[in-house]
Structure 1
């Protein structure tokens, strides 16, 4: 891996900070706030389940095995750690709202993960494993994040709930996800989560994929590896054209070659995964189906890249923009990575993160009272 993050961003993706609070929904935007919130988190879960079989695979291997993936390739599709950790972080955010602290997050990691029996995947990815080992040794945040994968996409994969909660407020979404990530991530790992959270926050109130990218770039250092990777991927997606027969393969190759480090073994690298996800989102111009399938067919950490692309496109187009047969395949999680989350549904988290008046018929919920008091 090169020690330099690469050339400066191109002018066509210049980082122009958006206002602290983006405009709320305007007439003509697709879906209600609830539809968009559910779209963001259901989109995450759908992308996760679609991408899981292709995780850590090269595109050539994907084509050899399945041709181009156009839907679920398993009889019983299921999400992975991406969905289960998003539920975990989303429930914690719904409880504490803007008053969320690192101490809250650390206590929840102990209560719901570190101090319990583990599932068959033992807490999931490398960054989560490193965090759990540190917590069990008695280390506290931010030292708990000092492990070999603090730069991973493990925060980016669970960042969408923060964008849903901080609808239209990308800076607040970025602040909150950094609080959550302090227990498990550092540096580029934090930046990756912030870019995703801010992008979802913007997508919740926008009809422009470009505004989503602008919001993501506004909350991370311009000279960070994550920002440069995002710039490269988005620029490649904008320049690339499909093949003569309409094949998306040339576009996927262009985006992938813009950010993937050839021969580098770790596919959970946050700058790479976040770049691929935003590149897929822009290549499809925010269309849900195109966004997630582009991410899946590029391989690498395909469950996470498709989950992130799905959360962005789902927030932009709403739950109604997700193919019904894909949505129907998403049920309560199994707790394979986090046994304490077994039986919970991602859509329940979406509803819990919204103001009371956004969910028809919902009675007063103490977690939302806490949220409103903290806001």
Structure 2
């Protein structure tokens, strides 16, 4: 996921919205998605409110008449948006509470026992697949620069299209291309153990939380672990906003909503996989427990993203195909939400026989107005990668990364699911062998974790070690 020190271009809104609504002035237009900067908070809250059915035109006009260096005045505008009422023509129903989410579902997906003979291999493949998938996407993780066209142009110049390995390095680097600063550790021929990434930190932390709290896990426990184990600037977007709120003494549910315009972005979705690992074949149990993690920092589609990812991973242990796992996991998402609409849309595109390229164009047209680190558009390309990957780990991962947006987060999720579906035998040696069974981590006390050890600890929980209370 995005380190917030990067400056990125403003997310484009649909043309009909842009033409009808006033826009923020230049002083607000370049956002680094940083919860520590009032101008970022205002810029991104305006986008969040517009995307979720609120009229913020008057706020935009006030902001344009306000000195952007006046911190208190800018923050007052951010806080003032909490009193706005949603437009009457809003067509979606997106509850936040777990009971309300449960009540919105047509039926809870039924659980089934994962085959014990495969479980050890599947859990190991899940961790390897996720970590390798994250590293494949890391060098091109900046959606404002690494668009679909830009990624394809680069890979074709390198003779590496379609992507079927780590991203290669061109030397000299052509003008107009810039790999992320992690490239010396994440590109073809340069991987020597997994690089550090929050898409890896959060699964490690989830494992630790489940070992500690089991099914008694609550948002307060998650917040306490963040502030004890994570450096502030190694968490991003919604997680950074929530972290600031925790240190200022706020408690859930206010932690997720106060000055947090990223509350429906992808940060929670990347935290869901381990909940699926420890409930193999029981997608609702995985989703319901992952809610306790997601609700600390997210609302609405942000919460659904983590619940869906947890259910998707869980369903993969017993599904016969990616499509089956996706369909089952969709059952934990409120059916009248934007996330359910997007996932259902991609499933229909696949059923209609479109090529992956044609489907990707439809996805970009329908959901490209969201930030490149939003839940909804990134979930759509995860679904597309898995469907058009047709059961092949590398094909699914390659298509996902070539889709742009949050490439390392999406590569990690697809890598996890495709790893489970195909087992360790389906993982390309060229991706997993350079990991050397080791991953870096920013979590205090967890750096240089052995991947095989993470898998063994996860398996212990999945096979009966998940308690109903804190470990003694």
- Whether these two folds match at TM > 0.5 is yes
* Kept in 2: contact 1:79–1:333 (CA 8 A): yes
Q: Counterparts of 1:361-372 in structure 2 under 5 Å?
A: 369=465, 371-372=466-467
Q: 2:335 aligns with which of 213, 216, 222?
A: 222
In 2, Cα distance between equivalents of 1:285 and 1:101 = 37
Instruction: Report the CA distance shift for 1:357/1:229 in structure 2 as closer, same or farther (over 3 A).
Output: closer
Q: Which residue in the other structure is 2:277 paired with?
A: 164
Which residue is 1:332 aligned to? 438
* 1:312-347 C-alpha deviation (Å, 9 max, x unpaired): 111111222111221112253333x54543212344
Cα distance change, pair 357–306 in 1 and its aligned pair in 2 (3 A): closer
Distance in 1 separating the partners of 2:358 and 2:201: 30
* 8 Å Cα contact 2:109-2:328 kept in structure 1: no
CA RMSD of aligned residues (A): 2.8
Map of 1:10 onto structure 2: none
Change in CA separation of 1:355 and 1:44 when aligned onto 2, cut-off 3 Å: same
- Tell me the SS of whatever aligns to 1:276: helix
**Alpha-carbon shift at residue 373 of structure 1 (Å):** 5.5
SS in 2 for 1:183: coil
Structure 1 residue aligned with 2:127: 41
1:264 aligned onto 2:378: no
Question: How far is the alpha carbon of 1:237 from its aligned partner?
Answer: 3.1
Q: Equivalent residue for 1:309?
A: 414
Change over 3 Å in CA distance of 1:256–1:159 after alignment to 2: farther
Q: Which runs of 5+ in 1 are unaligned?
A: 8-14, 242-249, 359-367
Task: Decide whether aligned partners of structure 1 residues 340 and 267 sit closer, same or farther in structure 2, where only a CA change above 3 A counts.
Answer: farther
CA distance in 1, matches of 2:199, 2:245: 21
Determine which structure has greater relative contact order: mean sequence separation of CA pairs < 8 Å that are 6+ residues apart, divided by chain length.
1
Task: Name the residue aligned to 2:241.
Answer: 130
Q: 1:253 to 1:307 in 2, by over 3 A?
A: farther
3-state SS of paired residue (1:85): helix
CA distance in 2, matches of 1:356, 1:163: 11
Q: With structure 1 as the length reference, what TM-score do the two structures score? A: 0.82
Distance 1:46 1:62 in 2: 19
CA distance in 1, matches of 2:361, 2:287: 26
Tell me: CA distance 1:194–1:182, structure 2 relative to 1, closer, same or farther (3 Å).
Answer: same
Question: How far is the alpha carbon of 1:226 from its aligned partner?
Answer: 0.8
CA distance in 1, matches of 2:250, 2:461: 38
Q: Who is 1:106 aligned against?
A: 223
> How has the CA–CA distance of structure 1 residues 233 and 140 changed in structure 2, closer, same or farther, with 3 Å as cutoff?
same
1:50 aligned onto 2:139 = no
What are the residue-to-residue correspondences of 1:127-206 with 2, within 5 Å? Answer: 127-146=238-257, 147-206=260-319
Structure number with greater Rg is 2
Q: Which moved more, 1:96-105 or 1:168-177?
A: 96-105
Aligned in 2, Cα 1:208/1:163: closer, same or farther, shift over 3 Å?
same
Q: Which runs of 5+ in 2 are unaligned?
A: 1-12, 14-50, 54-89, 93-104, 168-186
Alpha-carbon separation, structure 2, partners of 1:133 and 1:357? 33
Whether contact under 8 Å (2:367, 2:376) holds in the other structure is no
Partner of 2:150: 61
TM-score, reference length from structure 2: 0.66
Aligned pair in 2 of structure 1 residues 144, 256: CA closer, same or farther (>3 Å)? Answer: farther
Q: Is residue 102–residue 141 contact of structure 1 (8 Å, CA) maintained in 2?
A: yes
Q: Give the number of aligned pairs.
A: 340
Q: 1:89 aligns with which of 181, 206, 209?
A: 206
Q: SS of the counterpart of 1:353? A: helix
